[in-house]
Amino acid sequence: MTAALRDIQALRERIDQRLKTLYPEGPASLTAPVEYVSLGKGKRLRPLLTLITARACGGTVEDALPAAIAVEALHNFTLVHDDIMDHDELRHGQPSVHARWGDSSAILTGDVLFVLALKELRKSPAQVDRLTEAFAQGALAVCEGQALDLEFESRADVSLKDYMEMIDLKTGQMLGLAARLGAISGGGTAESIAGAGHFGLLLGRAFQIQDDLLELISDAGTMGKSLGSDLVSGKKTYLYLVAFQQAPDEVAAAVSAAGKNIETGVNLFRELLVKTGAREKAERLIRETVDSAVAALEPFGSGKADLLAFADIVLNRKN
Amino acid sequence: MTAALRDIQALRERIDQRLKTLYPEGPASLTAPVEYVSLGKGKRLRPLLTLITARACGGTVEDALPAAIAVEALHNFTLVHDDIMDHDELRHGQPSVHARWGDSSAILTGDVLFVLALKELRKSPAQVDRLTEAFAQGALAVCEGQALDLEFESRADVSLKDYMEMIDLKTGQMLGLAARLGAISGGGTAESIAGAGHFGLLLGRAFQIQDDLLELISDAGTMGKSLGSDLVSGKKTYLYLVAFQQAPDEVAAAVSAAGKNIETGVNLFRELLVKTGAREKAERLIRETVDSAVAALEPFGSGKADLLAFADIVLNRKN
């Protein structure tokens, strides 16, 4: 294990330690699912980004911990509600909150996670006002991203531009918020706060496209299944939209085939992604987006080393 | 129409005017239900309380408007989510959000209303920090109240004390928050802020018990139906709990009868409420609670006239 990874592990432990006391007192029907979701598996990427960014700005981990926990609670709020909407019964291999406690509990668990995020953020030792402004802005973006994602499932005319806007709101803005809160907490300059936000946003964009790509090239049965069900449900991804632009009839045929037999449909779709150049285009876009993300770190000078190591973790190059 | 009521009507119009622009831009799947629920029927009691309290503290309506709109949006967030959990298909005689747009949209509509409430509050011209603290505290209370309400439906051992705690969290704290935000916005003293919060809390408590009582003594078929379905679903009310304390077997028999024939069950229950003294006890508690609410206004001196007029409106004595 490298020094950078040992450091990440130590930060994760501090985050988990603090998450244990996120909601110490309250109705049992809320405290139990909040603890379940807060201490579940998951890489804690967003709070890690907050802490690493704060440090890169010259601040302390301690001062940025409330903001880090707020970001994780906000992220969990979206996961709990999204899982209800998407009928996802599993999260990190465990039953999702609504699968275990029912929809009503899951709605309320999400709601209270949102409130706890705000309350946690307000414990920050400085810049509470600016942190709260950024938090409200980021939370709105995430809700709007999820709304667009749901709208797109029933729309045939989703453009690549629409799609990029949606993933920026849903995924990018959350990582952007994590980095921005870290930079504010760490006493960063206006330039480093803006740079950090931009870095997080672009990293989130690259992450989302890579996630779709990994699903495609993975040999694992579960991955294929998930890709198949996305095809059947009409879920739009970058790869889907590029392939559809190039060969609408063949993509429609693959979707129709997946409705009858998932494996056949998925295989047809995989071939199409190579044939239409969608896969290559996605790989190029990921590289370019990561390059832009790294360029956004210019205000950090040599302090950006940890943020670069973090980018590698997000993009699954290290763990 | 009295001068006080004309004034209330003018304030309502200012509130509605502002609610029209609560969410001018965003995904259509969010802006439409947000507008629908924000401009629906309803008395705007909570934002009115905010404005009236601000004025009673010597502040202006204009300065308190962001806080008033925040309270209304927070209230609507709870209504939209509660209607999903309670399977209520109607709200103010119109289809509820989930009945019209589906559960997923309703979950997201509630979420975005919460964010909009926070963003609106942050537009307050002064005391944003204290307002946000009070807001977070109040929002947590409301979530916890709803959680307890759901827990109580499947619990046989709910005490009167448990019940009072629940309605204070679910109903009282929301009115208490409305009044507190008004007092803070209006530049009130520590005494008037605390007094206003206490007034709102007690008014909410009296309102909730009176609501249960009105449902009982109303002759309207719909009221009886609602009471009957509450009986069948095991919903605990103050009246139910007092009657159950005095005559558990007879209350159980009425509940069981309501399961077979709602009218028979409701009539049995009504008789029991008189016989056990539950109705008389409830009427006395409402009077005492209102007296305490009025006493909490002591720091306002002669400035409390409008707040007293407001209490009359809440308690359905005027409209």
- Give the pLDDT mean for B236-261: 89
Closest listed residue to residue A243, CA positions, set A202, A287, A274: A274
Q: Given pLDDT bands bounded at 50, 70 and 90, which one contains residue B42?
A: confident
Please indicate whether residue A317 or residue B218 has the higher confidence score (pLDDT): B218
B148 to chain A: which residues are within 8 Å by CB? Answer: 27, 29
Q: Which residues of A touch B84 (CB under 8 A)?
A: 103-104, 107
CA distance A97 to B1: 52
Closest CA in chain A for residue B105: A147
Contact between chains at A150 and B110 (C-beta distance less than 8 A): no
**Angstroms from B20 CA to nearest CA on chain A:** 18
User: What value of ipTM does the predicted structure carry?
Assistant: 0.92
Would you say how long chain A is, in residues?
A: 319
Chain centre distance of CA A48: 13
- CA nearest to B154 within chain A: A29
Test A143 with B112 for CB contact under 8 angstroms.
yes
Contacts of A112 in chain B (CB under 8 A): 140, 143-144, 147
The 10s digit of each residue's pLDDT in B63-77 is 999 999 999 999 999
CATH number at residue B61: 1.10.600.10
3-state secondary structure chain B: CCHHHHHHHHHHHHHHHHHCCCCCCCCHHHHHHHHHHHCCCCCCHHHHHHHHHHHHCCCCHHHHHHHHHHHHHHHHHHHHHHHHHCCCCEECCEECHHHHHCHHHHHHHHHHHHHHHHHHHCCCCCCHHHHHHHHHHHHHHHHHHHHHHHHHHCCCCCCHHHHHHHHHHHHHHHHHHHHHHHHHHCCCCHHHHHHHHHHHHHHHHHHHHHHHHHHHHCCCHHHHHHHHHHHHHCCCCHHHHHHHHHCHHHHHHHHHHHHHCHHHHHHHHHHHHHHCCHHHHHHHHHHHHHHHHHHCCHHHHHHHHHHHHHHHHHCCCCC
Residues in A touching B134 (Cβ below 8 Å) = none
Residue ranges of chain A with per-residue pLDDT less than 50? 223-224, 318-319
Give contacts of A137 with chain B, Cβ < 8 Å. Answer: 119
- Of A107, A114, A132, which is closest to B132 when you measure between CB atoms? A132
Q: Which residue of chain A has the CA closest to B110?
A: A111
B143: closest CA of chain A, how far (Å): 6
Give the per-residue pLDDT at A218. 67
Render chain A in DSSP notation, one character per residue: --HHHHHHHHHHHHHHHHHTTSS-SS-HHHHHHHHHHHSSSS--HHHHHHHHHHHHTT--HHHHHHHHHHHHHHHHHHHHHHHHHTT--EETTEE-HHHHH-HHHHHHHHHHHHHHHHHHHTT-SS-HHHHHHHHHHHHHHHHHHHHHHHHHHT-S---HHHHHHHHIIIIIHHHHHHHHHHHHHTT--HHHHHHHHHHHHHHHHHHHHHHHHHHHH---HHHHHHHHHHHHHT---HHHHHHHHH-HHHHHHHHHHHHH-HHHHHHHHHHHHHHTTHHHHHHHHHHHHHHHHHHTTGGGGGGGHHHHHHHHHHTTS--
**CB-closest option in A28, A128, A139 to B115:** A139
Whether residue B105 lies within 8 A of chain A, CB to CB, comes out as yes
The answer to whether position B210 is within a domain reads yes
Assess if residue B319 is contained within a domain.
no
Residues B145-188: tens digit of each pLDDT: 999 998 988 888 889 999 999 999 999 999 999 999 999 999 99
Q: Which residues of A touch B27 (CB under 8 A)?
A: 144, 147-148, 151
Would an 8 Å CB–CB cutoff place A96 in contact with chain B?
no
In a domain, A76, yes or no: yes
Which residues in chain B are closer than 8 Å to A146, comparing Cβ atoms?
Answer: 108
Nearest CB neighbour to B150, from listed A29, A139, A144: A29
Residue B318 pLDDT exceeds 60: no
pLDDT of residue A319: 43
User: Does the residue A319 lie in any domain?
Assistant: no
Any idea which residue has 């080393």 for tokens? A305
CB contact under 8 A, A129 and B129: yes
Rounded to a whole number of angstroms, the distance from the CA of B200 to the nearest CA of chain A is: 21
* Interchain contact A153–B (C-beta under 8 A): no
CB atoms B108 and A147 under 8 Å: yes
User: In this predicted structure, what is the pLDDT of residue B267?
Assistant: 87
A30 touches chain B (CB under 8 A): yes
Q: Which amino acid is at B36?
A: Y
What pLDDT, on a 0 to 100 scale, did the predictor assign at position B166?
95
**B227 in a structural domain:** yes
Q: Which residue has the higher pLDDT, B218 or B114?
A: B114
Model confidence pLDDT, tens digit, residues B268-289: 888 999 999 999 999 999 999 9
Q: Does B128 touch chain A (CB under 8 A)?
A: yes
pLDDT of residue B258: 84
- Residues of chain A contacting residue B29, judged by C-beta atoms under 8 Å apart: 147, 150-151
Is A282 domain-assigned? yes
How many structural domains compose chain A? 1
- What pLDDT does B304 receive? 92
Q: What pLDDT was estimated at residue B211?
A: 85
Domain that holds residue B42: 3-314
Q: Say yes or no for a CB contact (<8 Å) between A116 and B140.
A: yes
Chain A residues closer than 8 Å to B108 by CB: 81, 85, 143, 146-147, 150
